[in-house]
Structure 1
Amino acid sequence: MPTSSRFARGPASPLTLRAAAVALAGLAGATGLAACGDADAGGSGGRTEVVASFYPVAWLAGRIGGGDVSVRTLTKPGAEPHDLELTARQVADVGKADYAVYVKGVQPAVDEAVEKHAKSKSLDAASVVKTLPPPTGGEEEEHEGDHEHADTNYDPHIWLDPSRMATIATALGDRLAKADAPHAAGYRDRAKAVATELSALDRQYRDGLKTCKRNTIVTAHAAFGYLAERYGLRQVPIAGVDPTSEPSPKRIAELSGQIKTAGATTVFTETLVSPKVAQTLAKEVGVKTAVLDPVEGVAEGSSDDYLTIMRKNLETLRPALECS
């Protein structure tokens, strides 16, 4: 990201020097996270190099690592992460990194690369939280050969529960502190701050969804099981774990009946995948559509981050569920 600045002539005061140091440290942290999406980026500049599988864990690594890490993600900005294929260079980057963070079950290629090249220096975020059974309601059982990530015995979409993300933040802070002992205090302090922010987000969701006339969310794919479980909602997914799977006419008919029975007002589309099926279903039943973001990726240049996207999701859910 090109930047420009003007420096005043003459000696700088200690206060000015301290302010400059803080600014540079912040820029270093931002640059590390900005490297997400380019696993072929340049060197880490002496910082701890962290490879992240896709956006939610890359966001955590950038916030917790700050200026002490260089974060690279294996999934390009704006790309749908579920069917990621790694290049030979990316596989090598997994092995060369000081640490890797991922969610096992989302991206089979990443799971394999970590297992072979970074097992002893990685955090599977799903291993530190209570997981839920695989989501039901999609049709992936009819397409077993197309959905390798359905082999896991749990729902991998853990990041859509802020309370679980807070637990992961604490665990990642501890792991990075052990991997880079000279900066241990910074990792743990930043992890605590991030966990506090996520706990506050959790409270916003609990308060915002406490009193609603409806509790059914019809989603583009089965990504919102943890959010539904945490806040007393019921998820009805059009597709299963894989958002690109096409529902059959039979499934569409089933969904139409479920929407009418539940009195749902909205079919939720999402970012990164085509909204056509959801829009067709909504039109057929006579309800609205709205975007509910599974936070699986953020478009390049976007000013949004995990926290702002999740807050927008809450603002989208409340009117759809007629919450007071």
Structure 2
Amino acid sequence: MDDNRWQVDVRVFKKSWFRYRFAAAAASLAVLIIFTAGCGPSGQGKLVEGKLNVVTSFYPLYFLGQQIGGADANVINMIPAGVEPHDWSPKSQDLDTVSKAQLFLYNGAGLEGWVDDFLEGLPGNSKLQTVEVSKGIQKISGNPEDEDDHPDKGHVDPHTWVSPKSMIIMAKTVLDRFSEADPAHKDAYEANYKVLEGKLSALDKQYADTLATVKKKDIVTSHQAFGYLARDYGLKQVAIMGLSPDAEPKARDLLNITKFVKANGIQYIFFEELVSDEIAKTLAREAHVQTMVLNPLEGLTPKQASKGEDYFSLMQTNLQNLVQALQ
């Protein structure tokens, strides 16, 4: 396949991408309207008097907050179900809610590009405490081996939560800040954390034991969101797009990945549900392989939310898909 063919496919992808973005925005708005008309979704709640009010920037932190906070914390997620966090930015009502909360949890490492300006807009009398939850995790630089013209070169990979090992560290950070902000319920938070830490440790062991037995170690992904997962469990990630899922791939990169897929016996190309799968499917057709979901857990779809899916169930599905792809 030549570069000219890939140039055409990239242009087709861009058109599909913009159509997808419009459809996704409309769907998210519809979901939000439905939820607003009812009793309100988890993650779109209001401040509650007498509880530790915690606002989170996206789903994985919302999950940690709920698991550790239990009945003593009111956790509000800023991003609705079905919305990709790389492209979301807060509104004025979000600033008003956050300014009246006790804690604001954000991932950091460059995920929330809006966070500095957002926090500068807080009123002077706000008592909000901010928590960079990825702090303490050894970070990965984006595409360190790529050529100098790659847009992600030198950037920090923010996708820490995709690895259970990192999630354990993040959970401890959340516990410490909950206990500091609300010492009256410290014992309850510690008890909740102990249960969560046990589940995360079991998940970590399951990933380590299972992936140690697979024959292949290379995963080809649509979005460079699995660096920490690959580092912690002995895999190698080859990504079509960069750290942001809407980064534009080059024809040369697509051609090289196609050659890599064919040369290394790759059977599946992974895509994710909150962004377009057009490029992944195009590459899969060219390389005569299949596609499969590998979820970066940046957020739940409305369907996943309604079914009660969570971090653990989605990570179990991810592991099953990895095993299938790497045999």
TM over 0.5: yes
| C-alpha distance 247-103 of structure 1, shift in aligned 2 (>3 A) | same
Contact 1:238 1:255 in 2 (8 A): yes
Aligned residue identity for 1:131: K
Contact 1:228 1:234 in 2 (8 A): yes
Which of the residues 126, 130, 142 maps onto 2:134?
A: 126
2:3 corresponds to which residue? none
Distance of 2:155 and 2:176 partners within structure 1:
27
Distance of 1:298 and 1:216 partners within structure 2:
26
Aligned residue identity for 1:78: G
1:233 Cα deviation after fit? 0.4
Aligned residue identity for 2:208: R
1:120 Cα deviation after fit? 6.6
1:141 Cα deviation after fit? 5.3
Contact 1:170 1:188 in 2 (8 A): no
- Tell me the alpha carbon deviations over residues 190-247 of structure 1, each in whole angstroms, 9 at most, x when there is no partner: 1121111101000010111112221110001100000000110000001001111231
Count matched residues.
Answer: 281
Alignment map for 1:124-273 (pairs within 5 Å): 124-135=132-143, 153-273=155-275
Q: What TM-score, normalized to structure 2?
A: 0.80
The RMSD of aligned alpha carbons is: 2.3
Unaligned runs of 5+ in 1: 1-32, 145-149
Which of the residues 28, 31, 35 maps onto 2:42?
A: 35
1:113 Cα deviation after fit? 2.1
Contact 2:267 2:325 in 1 (8 A): yes
Distance of 1:140 and 1:76 partners within structure 2:
36
1:72 corresponds to which residue? 76
Whether 2:50 is the aligned partner of 1:46: answer yes
What secondary structure sits across from 2:300 in the alignment? coil
- Tell me the alpha carbon deviations over residues 7-64 of structure 1, each in whole angstroms, 9 at most, x when there is no partner: xxxxxxxxxxxxxxxxxxxxxxxxxx9531x2xx433142111000000010000110
Aligned residue identity for 1:82: H
Which of the residues 304, 307, 313 maps onto 1:308?
A: 313
Q: What TM-score, normalized to structure 1?
A: 0.81
| C-alpha distance 223-119 of structure 1, shift in aligned 2 (>3 A) | farther
Identity percentage of aligned residues? 36
Which of the residues 82, 107, 115 maps onto 1:110?
A: 115
2:290 corresponds to which residue? 288
| C-alpha distance 171-253 of structure 1, shift in aligned 2 (>3 A) | same
Contact 1:140 1:245 in 2 (8 A): no
Unaligned runs of 5+ in 2: 1-39
RCO higher in structure (CA 8 A, sep ≥6): 2
What secondary structure sits across from 2:232 in the alignment? helix
1:138 Cα deviation after fit? 8.2
- Tell me the alpha carbon deviations over residues 77-125 of structure 1, each in whole angstroms, 9 at most, x when there is no partner: 1100002111111122222210011111112113432466489712111
Contact 1:136 1:240 in 2 (8 A): no
| C-alpha distance 107-267 of structure 1, shift in aligned 2 (>3 A) | same
Whether 2:63 is the aligned partner of 1:59: answer yes
Distance of 1:163 and 1:296 partners within structure 2:
17
1:164 Cα deviation after fit? 1.2
1:98 corresponds to which residue? 102
Distance of 2:241 and 2:147 partners within structure 1:
7
Aligned residue identity for 1:189: A
